């Protein structure tokens, strides 16, 4: 073999790789080396071209020009099968799972062991999968349907899919965006273990602390081009962020101390059952005051979604009461709640927040189309709606060619801005923001956080639900931790620590922590 040592030590190399969609170059003349046995991080703003590049590596896209080398040899992959045969596997940004299939079926799909005549032999697969699951501490329920398992387990299923196919070059596209802090810690440990075994990993993430924690090298890409690669141990988070955005980024949201007023939202002894009649919120009580951001921290699936749905009227509560701006809104219809002064940035923006095939201006009118000035006597006033939309597009810096373009054509970040513009602009007494920055880059996050704090400063209440502790600590004034549908306690954001919150998220009530602290202090 004529390949020199340098090439052979590269798991993957891209040479002058360009990938164009029509006239638009999502990747432009990319040169990149991924060393064997390392974790290589990719960092870049939304739409920088990271996923595109990885889709090329996993055989889903074919490069417009340039070459791909795997283990020193030039390859031409035409499908993900080819990539699979070369030992490359990818966990996609949006999970590629079949909801209706069991975990095992999802793992084996496309590489099914069979008896004669194409009859599935899931028994054989099960053994291999359970072995892998044990080896890498990837706990799964093999017979559960994917639609019934947590996001964290879905992530583990995705990883097992790769391991099952004996991949040794693994690509993770924003794997942590949907994970809880503890799951993230687990994943980081697993990645480290894999690298130790000689596997190579490419990790895409917007979270700089993760890069600092596990990556060996980091490549920054901006607008389809490589800005540079650095050794992670030699660079600070700030340096990486600035490099990515091309300007200085502030992590800490500027905010003055809150001046809380009266309670705008009062939750008393609230219980909520989900569609399967399981009680997900249990006897919960708290207040959100005017002029403060109350953060709700907690691991995904501890009743946050049900709480938000109960407040907004999407789900009925089984007992307790909800008072918004001194008005009892318990079990009122959604519209009545909205009219009582609620703004809601929903968790799943594409499913709940927007009607993607409709125009931006129609989406901006989504909460107010039925009343003046958007409409009169049942007739929509498009002139007004469009003008209003243009105004908000400018005010909120939404990047779109026109207020009449389809909302689905906007980027994820800009779609989120449409929702924020709509909800904030009504100046609601209480704004609920559920994971408002999920999947967005630091620039966008910075912007959204600023808007939430603005809202607070205008004297309104903000209820921020987030799985990201950073976000919670950064934006909230007070923090409530939910565990198993119950209130673990409320703390001042300025006087708590990640450790304390972590304990509460794991199910230790605040008073217990305080007691044990006192005990320690007493000793």
Partner 1 sequence: MNTMTILMTIVSTTLIYASPLIFTSLGGTFSERGGIVNVGLEGIMVIGAFASTVFSISFNETFGAATPWLALIVGGICGLLFSIVHAVATVNLRANHIISGTVLNMLAPAAAVFLTKVIYDGKGQTPIIQQNMSTTDIPLLSKIPVIGDIFFSNTLVIGWIGILLAFASWWVLYKTRFGLRLRSVGENPEAADTLGISVYKMRYSAVLISGMLGGIGGAIMSQAITLNYNVSTIAGQGFMALAAMIFGKWNPIGAMFAALFFGFAQSLSIVGAYIPIISGWNDVVFKVAPYLITIVVLAFFIGKSTAPKADGETFIKSK
Partner 2 sequence: MSKNWKSRLSIPLISILAGFVLGAIIMLCLGYDPIMTYEALFTGAWGDPNSIGETLRQATPLILTGLGFSVATSAGFFNIGGAGQYLVGWLSSIWFVLSFPSLPGVVLITGAIAAGAIAGGIWSGIAGVLRAYLKTNEVITTIMLNYIALYLSNWIVKSFLANGDADYSKSIPQSASLRSPFLMELTNNSTFHYGLFIAIVIAIIMAFVMKKTTVGYEIRSIGLNSDASKYAGMSTKKVIILAMTLSGLLAGIGGAVDGIGNYQNILVLASTPSVGFDGLAVALLAYGNPIGIVFASLLFASLKIGGLNIPVVSNTPSEIVDIVIALIIFFVGASYLFEYISKKMKTNKSKGGKA
Ligand X SMILES: Nc1ncnc2c1ncn2[C@@H]1O[C@H](COP(=O)(O)OP(=O)(O)OP(=O)(O)O)[C@@H](O)[C@H]1O
Judged by the rule CB under 5 A, the positions of this chain that interact with Mg ion are 46, 51, 93, 412
236: tokens are 């600070």
Which residues sit opposite 169 in a β-bridge? 88, 200
Answer with the entry of partner 2, ligand X, Mg ion, none that 344 interacts with (C-beta below 5 to 8 A by kind). partner 2
Smallest separation, CB 150 to Mg ion (Å): 22
Residue 409: asked if its preceding bond is cis (omega within 30°), the reply is no
Contact call for residue 40 and ligand X (CB under 6 A): no
Contact call for residue 46 and ligand X (CB under 6 A): yes
Smallest separation, CB 440 to Mg ion (Å): 7
CB atoms inside a 10 Å sphere around CB 488: 25
Contact call for residue 50 and ligand X (CB under 6 A): yes
Contact call for residue 64 and ligand X (CB under 6 A): no
Contact call for residue 20 and partner 1 (CB under 8 A): no
Site track for ligand X across 431-470, x = CB under 6 A: ----------x--x--------------------------
Q: Which residues contact 160 (CB under 8 A, 6 or more apart)?
A: 107, 129, 132, 133, 138, 140
Answer with the entry of partner 1, partner 2, Mg ion, none that 118 interacts with (C-beta below 5 to 8 A by kind). partner 1
Contact call for residue 413 and ligand X (CB under 6 A): yes
Contact call for residue 92 and partner 1 (CB under 8 A): yes
With CB under 6 A as the contact rule, the residue among 10, 17, 48, 469 that binds ligand X is 48
Which residues sit opposite 91 in a β-bridge? 172
Answer with the entry of partner 2, Mg ion, partner 1, none that 46 interacts with (C-beta below 5 to 8 A by kind). Mg ion
> Among residues 307 and 444, whose Cβ is nearest to ligand X?
444
With CB under 8 A as the contact rule, the residue among 12, 54, 61, 337 that binds partner 1 is 61
Smallest separation, CB 438 to ligand X (Å): 11
Answer with the entry of partner 1, partner 2, Mg ion, none that 233 interacts with (C-beta below 5 to 8 A by kind). none
Smallest separation, CB 202 to ligand X (Å): 12
**Is the separation of the CB atoms in 186 and 211 below 8 Å?**
no
What residues from 293 to 322 belong to the interface with partner 2 (CB under 8 A)? 312-314
3-state secondary structure 135-188: HCCCCCCCCCEHHHCCHHHHHHHHHHHHHHCCCCEEEEECCCCCCCHHHHHHHH
Contact call for residue 20 and partner 2 (CB under 8 A): no
**Is the separation of the CB atoms in 436 and 416 below 8 Å?**
yes
Cα–Cα distance measured from residue 395 to residue 424, given in angstroms and rounded to the nearest whole number: 12
With CB under 6 A as the contact rule, the residue among 52, 312, 317, 476 that binds ligand X is 52
Cα–Cα distance measured from residue 472 to residue 408, given in angstroms and rounded to the nearest whole number: 29
* Ramachandran angles phi, psi of 48, nearest 5°: -70, -25
Contact call for residue 420 and ligand X (CB under 6 A): no
Pairing of strands 430-434, 486-492: unpaired
Contact call for residue 338 and partner 2 (CB under 8 A): yes
> Among residues 49 and 461, whose Cβ is nearest to ligand X?
49
**Is the separation of the CB atoms in 219 and 228 below 8 Å?**
yes
With CB under 6 A as the contact rule, the residue among 11, 26, 215, 244 that binds ligand X is 26
Contact call for residue 352 and partner 2 (CB under 8 A): yes
Question: Which among 406, 324, 335 has a CA at the least distance from the CA of 370?
Answer: 335
What residues from 134 to 173 belong to the interface with partner 1 (CB under 8 A)? 161
Answer with the entry of ligand X, partner 2, partner 1, none that 354 interacts with (C-beta below 5 to 8 A by kind). partner 2
Cα–Cα distance measured from residue 204 to residue 42, given in angstroms and rounded to the nearest whole number: 5
Contact call for residue 356 and partner 2 (CB under 8 A): yes
254: tokens are 């500027």
> Among residues 409 and 490, whose Cβ is nearest to Mg ion?
409
CA 34 to chain centre: 26
Contact call for residue 114 and partner 1 (CB under 8 A): yes
The single-letter DSSP state of residue 314 is: S
Contact call for residue 357 and partner 2 (CB under 8 A): yes
With CB under 8 A as the contact rule, the residue among 90, 184, 296, 444 that binds partner 1 is 90
Smallest separation, CB 63 to ligand X (Å): 13
**Is the separation of the CB atoms in 2 and 15 below 8 Å?**
no
Contact call for residue 500 and partner 2 (CB under 8 A): no
According to DSSP H, which parts of 396-467 are helical? 412-425, 442-457
Cα–Cα distance measured from residue 53 to residue 14, given in angstroms and rounded to the nearest whole number: 10
> Among residues 177 and 389, whose Cβ is nearest to ligand X?
177
Site track for partner 2 across 45-74, x = CB under 8 A: ------------------------------
Answer with the entry of Mg ion, ligand X, partner 1, none that 80 interacts with (C-beta below 5 to 8 A by kind). partner 1
H or E stretch covering 385 = helix 382-395
The single-letter DSSP state of residue 359 is: B
38: tokens are 């390392």
Contact call for residue 105 and partner 1 (CB under 8 A): yes
Q: Is 254 exposed, middle or buried (0-12, 13-18, 19+ CB in 10 A)?
A: exposed
Establish how many alpha carbons lie within 13 A of residue 118's alpha carbon, considering only the half-sphere containing its beta carbon: 2
Sign of the torsion angle spanned by Cα atoms 333, 337, 339, 344: negative
**Is the separation of the CB atoms in 492 and 477 below 8 Å?**
yes
With CB under 8 A as the contact rule, the residue among 15, 18, 37, 101 that binds partner 1 is 101
Contact call for residue 335 and partner 2 (CB under 8 A): yes
> Residues interacting with partner 2, by CB under 8 A?
312-314, 333-338, 344, 346, 351-358, 362, 366-367, 369-370, 375, 378-380, 382
> Residues interacting with partner 1, by CB under 8 A?
58, 60-62, 79-81, 84, 90, 92, 96-101, 105, 108-112, 114, 117-120, 161
């Amino acid at each position: 073999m004529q390949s020199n040592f340098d090439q052979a030590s590269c798991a993957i190399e891209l040479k002058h790789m360009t990938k164009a969609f029509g006239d638009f170059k999502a990747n432009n003349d990319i040169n990149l080396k991924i060393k064997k046995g390392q974790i290589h991080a990719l960092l870049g703003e939304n739409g920088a071209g990271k996923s595109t590049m990885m889709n090329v590596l996993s055989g889903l896209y074919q490069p417009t020009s340039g070459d791909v080398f795997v283990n020193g040899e030039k390859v031409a992959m035409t499908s993900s099968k080819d990539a699979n045969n070369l030992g490359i596997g990818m966990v996609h940004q949006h999970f590629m799972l079949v909801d209706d299939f069991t975990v095992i079926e999802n793992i084996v799909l496309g590489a099914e062991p069979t008896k004669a005549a194409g009859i599935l032999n899931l028994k054989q697969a099960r053994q291999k999968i359970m072995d892998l699951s044990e080896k890498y501490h990837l706990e799964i329920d093999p017979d559960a349907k994917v639609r019934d398992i947590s996001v964290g387990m879905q992530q583990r299923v995705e990883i097992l899919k790769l391991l099952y196919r004996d991949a040794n070059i693994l690509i993770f596209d924003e794997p942590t965006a949907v994970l809880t802090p503890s799951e993230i810690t687990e994943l980081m440990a697993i990645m480290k273990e894999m690298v130790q075994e000689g596997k190579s990993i490419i990790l895409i993430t917007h979270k700089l602390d993760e890069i600092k924690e596990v990556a060996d090298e980091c490549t920054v890409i901006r607008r389809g081009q490589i800005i540079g690669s650095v050794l992670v141990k030699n660079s600070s988070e700030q340096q990486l962020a600035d490099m990515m955005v091309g300007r200085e980024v502030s992590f800490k949201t500027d905010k003055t101390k809150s001046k809380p007023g009266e309670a705008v939202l009062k939750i008393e002894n609230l219980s909520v059952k989900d569609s399967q009649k399981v009680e997900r919120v249990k006897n919960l009580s708290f207040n959100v005051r005017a002029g403060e951001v109350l953060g709700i921290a907690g691991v995904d699936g501890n009743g946050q979604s049900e709480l938000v749905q109960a407040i907004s009227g999407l789900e009925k509560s089984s007992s307790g009461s909800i008072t918004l701006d001194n008005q009892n809104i318990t079990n009122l219809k959604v519209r009545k709640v909205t009219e009582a002064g609620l703004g809601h940035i929903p968790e799943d923006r594409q499913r709940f927040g927007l009607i993607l095939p409709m125009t931006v201006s129609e989406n901006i009118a989504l909460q107010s189309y039925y009343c003046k000035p958007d409409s009169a006597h049942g007739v929509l006033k498009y002139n007004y709606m469009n003008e209003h939309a243009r105004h908000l597009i400018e005010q909120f810096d939404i990047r779109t060619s026109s207020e009449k373009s389809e909302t689905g054509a906007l980027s994820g970040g800009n779609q989120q801005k449409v929702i924020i513009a709509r909800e904030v602009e009504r100046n609601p007494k209480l704004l609920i923001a559920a994971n408002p920055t999920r999947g967005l880059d630091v620039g966008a996050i910075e912007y959204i956080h600023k808007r939430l704090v603005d809202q607070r400063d205008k004297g309104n209440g903000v209820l921020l639900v987030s799985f990201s502790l950073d976000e919670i600590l950064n934006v909230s004034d007070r923090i409530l931790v939910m565990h198993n549908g119950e209130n673990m306690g409320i703390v001042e954001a300025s006087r708590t620590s990640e450790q304390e919150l972590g304990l509460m998220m794991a199910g230790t009530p605040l008073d217990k922590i305080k007691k044990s602290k006192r005990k320690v202090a007493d000793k």
